[in-house]
Amino acid sequence: MRARRLSSFSDDVIADMVARYVSGESQTSIARTYGLDQPTVSHLVRPHAPPERSRRRAHGTTNGAGKLTDDQVRHIRSSFDTGAITQVSLARQHDISPSTVHGIIKGKTHSPFGESTPN
């Protein structure tokens, strides 16, 4: 089967794919219907799909399964900033990995609302 260019799909076909995806149909099922592979369907529907169909997960304190509260994150940052404790000690204290502590300190993860992250 010869690959089709993404631009060869009409707006109506893309709208149908998006509607089916939003209604809960899998990208793989949609791909089979149109004789495509799943990554192609993903490329076509994801920009138009609502956020609730996104696989992107919440990070930091917005993650429902997160271990740390905003106060704990502030404590980790302030304790490390004062030089009073090492990253490994903070990790043990909060039952998290040292790499998580590093991410918190560098502002890569756990950005509580209203708190600016370091650059």
Please give the C-alpha separations between residue 72 and each of 17, 58, 77, 79, 117, in angstroms, as whole numbers: 44, 18, 9, 10, 15
15-38 per-position pLDDT tens digit: 899 889 888 888 899 999 988 999
**Band of the pLDDT at 107, cuts 50, 70, 90?**
confident
pTM beyond 0.85: the answer is no
pLDDT tens-digit readout, 54-82? 655 565 556 666 778 888 888 999 999 89
Dihedral of the alpha carbons of 61, 62, 64, 68, in degrees to the nearest 10: 0
In terms of CATH architecture, what is 60-106?
Orthogonal Bundle (1.10)
Residue among 38, 23, 112, 34 at smallest CA distance from 75: 112
Measured between alpha carbons, how far is residue 31 from residues 15, 19, 116 in Å? 14, 14, 42
Question: In the chain, what are the domain boundaries?
Answer: 6-53, 60-106
